[in-house]
Amino acid sequence: MKTANKTVTAERLVRDALEKAKYFADYNIFTFLNEEEAIKKAREIDAKIARGEKVGRLAGVPYALKDNFLSPEGQTTAASHILEGFVSPITATAVEKLEAEGAIMIGRTNMDAFAHGSSTENSYFGPTHNACDKERVAGGSSGGSAVAVALDIVEFATGTDTGGSIRQPASFNGVYGLKPTYGTISRYGVVAMASSTDCIGFFTKTPDDMNLLMEIASGQDEKDLTTLPDYYGKTKAKKATKIGIIKDFDNDSVHPEIRKALQNKIELLKSKGYEIVDLEMPALKYALAAYYIIVPAEVASNLSRYDGVRYGFRSEKSENLDALYKNTRGEGFMPENKRRIMIGNFVLSSGFYDAYFLKAAKARTLIVQEYAKAFEKCDFILSPVTPNPAFKLGEKTSDPVTMYLEDAMTVPLNLAGVPGLTIPAGKTDDGVALGLQLIGPRRSDKNLIEFSKELA
């Protein structure tokens, strides 16, 4: 990662990034550009460097912030209408840690509103375009962040991954994207989607950059009681020898070019002396159904706070309080947000709780156990990220279920809380980026990142 020094100033790095962001304006990557503040902060860092003072490990590094991270710079809208006008009084822990090391946020990135989606087409601000092919989706929900890194506008970008929102857009745009072990990075100050699967992570161009960001951002936080005691920096290096391949994903529902990319990496691993282990993981087939019950249930709860009274947008039309709630939520949420609120309240309702939510929770336990069994047989798993490469804009918007099906290989990790790292794995014949996903046991994040260098 290029940091500022006496010859290359932070102001230069930040101005270059802002210029590139404007040059690529038609990709619709940013919901906000932080010009004034970013340049002011860059000058402060340059002044420190000139005085010979110590600066942080990310001094002057421009980065992009997904629009669901709270900070007082710009509005935090989570790409929704209902949060329009909301300027946060607080700063997310992850943002504080990055900025304490000198990183400078140059803009907020576009996303599916409230992170509900797999293509960034559910954004109130319109879709982001894929870095390789403008006719295609950027992936989602962190589409803007992935494209900002892929087009080399910034050195890194933040993301959130509840069911694939970092790994899938990383794969669609050809960059590294990490969903850490659940609880590794504080969720404090990040707009909640599904609290039991939400993870904070990053998009980078190299594994070393990912490691550096994890060193900085991970750790226990008293403001997020689900954070794990600090383990990342203390991880002992462990040499992997056995790599698992999920046989259940080896079939015609996976695009031939993705299967070919996987096969190429398997050959590479074999040539380096790794043992390839075939895994049967039948419980993974329940993951998508369980996810689309558990997550909407948590979404319905987390989104109940947006009522037109406390944050952002308020409908003009209302003559009494009930109407104010209804109209604000009706006008302020995107259709996908509403769909999830309705499904969530349905599966939690007294007559259906046992039939849906409880059953999904049991399936989740099976999935957790399935990974535990798999990691008795291998050190890491190599898998596709999605069944298909980036699809065309508009191709799946009319049918939510076909969109959900693209998440089948990413959501199991979130249900189990295990880490997953998307690595770039070439391009299709049409020039669309392909990625693969490395999966490890809980808390193996650092070794997983290190191991990914074997596949570069």
Taking the complex as a whole, the smallest distance from the CB of residue 419 to ligand GLN amounts, in Å, to 14
Taking the complex as a whole, the smallest distance from the CB of residue 412 to ligand GLN amounts, in Å, to 12
Taking the complex as a whole, the smallest distance from the CB of residue 233 to ligand GLN amounts, in Å, to 26
- Cα of 391 vs its chain's centroid, Å: 18
Contact positions vs ligand GLN (CB under 6 A)? 115-118, 141, 160-165, 193, 295, 407
Q: In degrees rounded to 5, what are phi and psi of residue 130? A: -65, 140
Please say which residue, 99 or 336, places its beta carbon nearer to ligand GLN: 336
Q: Closest CB to ligand GLN belongs to which residue? A: 165
Kindly report whether the peptide bond that precedes residue 141 is cis, defined as omega within 30 degrees of 0: yes
Residue position matching structure tokens 């020094």 = 5
Please say which residue, 109 or 447, places its beta carbon nearer to ligand GLN: 109
CB of 447 closer than 8 Å to CB of 393 = no
CB of 132 closer than 8 Å to CB of 432 = yes
Tokens of 239: 């040499």
Q: CA 229, 233, 236, 240 torsion: positive or negative?
A: positive
DSSP one-letter code for 442: T
Taking the complex as a whole, the smallest distance from the CB of residue 17 to ligand GLN amounts, in Å, to 25
Known catalytic membership, residue 195: no
Among the listed residues 123, 145, 165, 186, the single catalytic one is 165
Please say which residue, 15 or 339, places its beta carbon nearer to ligand GLN: 339
Known catalytic membership, residue 165: yes
Upper half-sphere CA count for residue 258 (Cβ side, 13 Å)? 24
Taking the complex as a whole, the smallest distance from the CB of residue 145 to ligand GLN amounts, in Å, to 12
* Distance (Å, whole) CA 86 – CA 193: 17
Task: Decide: helix, strand or coil at residue 61.
Answer: coil
Among the listed residues 80, 88, 119, 141, the single catalytic one is 141
Known catalytic membership, residue 218: no
* Distance (Å, whole) CA 366 – CA 209: 34
Among the listed residues 66, 179, 265, 396, the single catalytic one is 66
DSSP one-letter code for 388: S
Taking the complex as a whole, the smallest distance from the CB of residue 111 to ligand GLN amounts, in Å, to 8
* Distance (Å, whole) CA 351 – CA 180: 36
Q: What is the DSSP string of 171-185?
A: HHHTSEEEE-STTSB
Residues noted as catalytic = 66, 141, 165
